[in-house]
Amino acid sequence: MLLRIRSKISYFFKSVLDFLFPPICFGCNKEIDSGIVCYQCYNKITGSWLGVCAQCGYPLGYNQSCKNCKSSLTLPRIRALGFYTEPFLPLIHALKYQGKKSLAEIFGKALTGLLNSDPILKQAEVLVPVPLHPARKRERGFNQSELLGFEVSRLTGIPVVNALWRKKNTKSQTKLDSKKRIENMQGAFIIKDNKTVVNKKVILIDDVITSGATINSAAQTLLEAGVREVFGLVIARA
C-alpha cells in the first residue's frame, strides 16, 4: 500500500515537472514526451552511417570527394556514424560536458550496428578506447570513449582493453590547424599493456575525428607495440 502511494506521488510530481519543464531532445532542442533523444534524431544516429574513402580509409559521405588521401594516417579504415553537425554535435557535447551518460548506450548501439555491418571491422579481436589524460578524466569524471567501448563490448562480446596511457595533457585540438594538431599529439601515448593486444586486430574507439591526429598517434603507439592491425570507430567526423 505504501509503495503504491509513493508511486502515485512520484508520478504526480514528474507530471508537474514535465508540464513546467517539458523534456527536450538534446539533439535538436525540440520538446519530446520522454527521454533525451527524439525519434528523428535517434533515426539519424542509427541510420546515417558514413562510408570510407577507398584509397585512404577516412570516413566519407556518399558522393563526396576525398581531400584526405595525401595525409599520413596509419589506420587503413575508420568508420563514423555521421558528420559532426546536428544531431551529433549537441549530443556529443551533452555526453562529454553535461554528463548525460545514457547517451553512451544509444551511441554504443549505433556503433555496434556499424561495426557488425563492416566486413573488416567485425573481424576485430580487441576494442581499445582512446584514453584521456588522468587530469582531464578526473575533471570530467569519466572517459566518454571508454563508456562507448564498454557498450559496444557488451553488445558484441569483443573485449575492451585499456592498453594505452595518455602521458601528455595536450592542448585542446579545437583551435589548432592540421599541422599543429599533429605536433600537439606527438608522443602523447605510451603502451600500458601489450600482452592482450600483441598480434591482434584492434579497433580504436573515440567520439570525434577531425584531422585524425589523435587517433593516428594512438594507432602508431599500438602498432609499435606489436598490434597486427588497427582500425577506427567513432561517432562523428568533423
Q: Give 166's contacts (C-beta < 8 A, 6+ positions apart).
A: 131, 132, 133, 134, 188, 189
What is each CA distance from 143 to 140, 169, 237, in whole angstroms?
8, 14, 19
Q: For 29-72, what is each residue's pLDDT tens digit?
A: 999 988 899 999 999 999 889 999 988 899 998 777 787 776 67
The pTM is what? 0.86
CA atoms of 170 and 132, how far apart (whole Å):
10
**Is there a contact between 203 and 115 (Cβ–Cβ < 8 Å)?**
yes
Q: What angle do CA 120, 221, 128 make, to 5 degrees?
A: 50
Mean pLDDT, the chain, whole residue set: 87
CA atoms of 184 and 181, how far apart (whole Å):
5
* Choices 3.90.1580.10, 3.30.420.10, 3.40.50.2020, 3.30.310.50: CATH for 49-237: 3.40.50.2020
Q: For 158-208, what is each residue's pLDDT tens digit?
A: 999 999 999 877 656 556 556 665 566 677 899 987 889 999 999 999 999
pLDDT of residue 168: 74
pLDDT of residue 6: 57
